[in-house]
Every structure is written in structure tokens, then in C-alpha cells.
Structure 1
Amino acid sequence: MKKRVMFTLCASILFAGCNSGTTVNNNAAPACTIPAFNKQTAEQMLTNWGNGLQLYNVNTISDVYLGAGYFTMTYYTPDAILQPTVSPVQREGTQEIYNYFTHFLVTNPIMSIPSPESNVAMDLGCGYGGYVGYYDFLQYAGTDKQKTTNARFTFMYKYMETSFTSSFIVESGSQAGQTISQTNQPGWYIYQQQSSALPIE
């Protein structure tokens, strides 16, 4: 049975040591040289991710099996974990997250933020941050299948200090079976994401 990984907000505890001023030997901890994670950073990361849904969807890149892969490699770490909004399946790593977005991007999702002031950014220590709040998705806009999903999210971000390469195997389409890779520059990337539809009152 596939290993299950519990998603938790207790990351703040796990990374608390990054904020402490001393090491286990009571020596001064080295200063963190990574940019601090704040509300401005969190908002920009979410905006970029939402814009990416448009940049890589089927209206822009006709082959969703390529668009979904480039979207995943651009915004997620290679070992990221995704618990999608309405899917019961947890996705782990680039290939599985890519598979999810081959289904999601065909709905032409358009993200909006209903109340940005209510979303909360968290600095979880040197190189880690979190963002919790609400977003909406308009799907199949302009068709008889048009719908809006109201959801809540938790994004956990990790600052990658060096460039890194992600890759995926194309599952279908004109390049099925090929491995495609992309090298990303240092910066903030999603390493955990949990999303769920809001309950109907």
C-alpha cells in the first residue's frame, strides 16, 4: 500500500530550531542569510501560482500533458506533497503532482482571492514559510459546465538555496514516454499544499 504522509501545520515546531540563537552545544547559531518569509512574499507566491494556472492551461499550451508538467516543475519542489481540493488522492513528488494537473488544467481554472486581508503568512524559520487562507476557482468559464469552487488552502514553502532539476515522464500525447527536465533557479517553492472545498452551511 502506498505510503501515506500526514500533512500538518506543526511544521512551525519542527523548524523552531532555525529561529533559536544557539546550537545544541550552546554555541551561537550562524545567521540566516535567506530572505525572510512575510505576507508580501506569500501573496506574490500565490499570485504567481494562480497566474501559472492560466499560463500553462490548455488555452495556452494545447498539449495538457506538457503544460501540466511545466507547471508542476515551475512551482513545486521535486519531493513536494499535494492534497488537492476535491480529489481524494494524495500526490507525492513531481510525477504524481503532474498527473493531477493533467486533469485540473483542462478545466481552465481561474483563481481569485475573496478576502486577501484574512489570509495569514507564517515565517517558520530560516528557509521555510507558510500561507493559510481562502481562494476561489472558476472552472469551464463560458461553457455549460461553468462552476465556482470556494476553497481553503495551506501552502508550505521552502527556499531552495541552489539551482535544482525536476523531471517528469509524459503520460500521453505526442511526446508520451519521453522524460522532460527543467532546471530552476534558487528561490521559494511549494513543498506541501493542502486544499479543501469549503463546507456548505
Structure 2
Amino acid sequence: MRSKAMTLTGICTAAAGLAVMSACSAGNAQPAQPQQAAPSQQVIAGLFDDWNAALATGDADKVADLYAPDAVLLPTVSNKVRTDRAAIVDYFRHFLANKPVGKIEQEVVGVLDADTAVNTGVYRFDLTQNGSPQQVQARYTFVYELRGGKWLIVNHHSSTMPEKKQG
């Protein structure tokens, strides 16, 4: 079995070499770049922790830094669709006044390819509104793209749960 694996490895290496030579001989001065490996589900799940930590700073600009310039935000506590940085910052200025702390209760992470992933599920926010602690449970979807070596949110949808939680 080892010799078959070695032979397949040799064939694959040779084929890759031919592809590079073919690309170069076709007038393309740059050899083909190796494809980047897809991120793990843990890496994508960890992006929520980064977002939650940005919320904890109370700085709307720090939160907005995690969104792509062309991101779309469908926020939990606003009817307005946010489609640019200024609108996203505006939303978080108001939302951060409630001192939100998010906790994921259920998540499903999907890695679509090396530069695209989705984290969707249910999260809960502990908030302080008018001096009183409150909890809001919501469904969420974060769509991420790797841009310039950094994972950015390109789409974020959050909506309160339609049914009251059974106790």
C-alpha cells in the first residue's frame, strides 16, 4: 500500500509541476499560487468571541471594524437595514448603551471554502435597559469573508425569537 501512495504522490507532484510549467509557458509569468486551506470550524466560531469582546469595549467604531465596508446588518433592535459603515456605527452607538453581553446558546458553523464561512444559531444578550437587567434571546447569522488576510462580517442578521421560551 505504501508504494501505491508514494506513486500517487509522485504523480500528483509531477502533475502540479506540469500545471505550473503550463501556466508559465502560456505567457503567464507567475506560477499558480497554492490554494489556501479552509479554516476550521473552531476558527470561525472564535470570531463571535472577537465580536463580543468588541461589544464589551463600548466603542461602536471597534465593533464596526469587524464588518466589511459593504456589509449588510439586519439588527435585532432596529427596523432599519444598515448597509454602510456609518449606519452600522450608528446602530452600535445606540445598542452599546445597553451594555450587551452575548452568549451563544446554539450554533451551527459552516465553512464554505477557504475564504467564506457562516455561523448561525441562537444567542442571548444580557442587557441593562433603564437600569434594569434584561435578557433577549435572538436568532443570528454571521456570514464571514476573508479579505486582506482578515475575517470580516459581510452579512449579519439578528432577530428576536418569535416564540416565548418554555420554562
Normalised-by-shorter TM-score class: 0.7 to 0.9
- Mapping of residues 44-193 of structure 1, within 5 Å: 44-55=46-57, 57=58, 67-73=59-65, 75-115=66-106, 119-140=107-128, 144-161=131-148, 186-193=149-156
State the shift of 1:144 in Å: 4.0
Task: State the AA in 1 paired with 2:156.
Answer: Q
Find the counterpart in structure 2 of residue 43 from structure 1.
45
Query: Contact (CA 8 Å) 1:38, 1:121: kept in 2 or not?
Result: no
Segments of 5+ residues of structure 2 without an aligned counterpart are: 1-22, 24-31
Whole-angstrom CA distance in 1 between matches of 2:69 and 2:83: 9
Report the secondary structure of 1:154's partner residue.
Answer: strand
Deviation (angstroms), 1:31: 4.3
The one-letter amino acid of 2:88's match is: I
Rg larger for: 2
In structure 1, distance between residues paired with 2:111 and 2:34: 15
How much has 1:105 moved relative to structure 2? 0.5
Partners of 2:119 and 2:92 lie apart in 1 by 21
Residue deviations 1:150-186, cap 9 Å, x none?
011110001013xxxxxxxxxxxxxxxxxxxxxxxx2
Distance 2:156 2:51 in 1: 12
Residue 27 (structure 2) aligns with: none
Larger fraction in helix: 2
Output the TM-score relative to the length of structure 1.
Answer: 0.61
The amino acid across from 1:121 in the alignment is V
Which structure 1 residue ranges, 4+ long, deviate > 3 Å from structure 2?
none
- Residue equivalent to 1:199: 162
Deviation at 1:30, TM superposition (A): 6.1
Answer 1 or 2: higher relative contact order, Cα 8 Å, separation at least 6: 1
Distance 2:38 2:61 in 1: 29
SS in 2 for 1:69: helix
- Identity in percent: 29
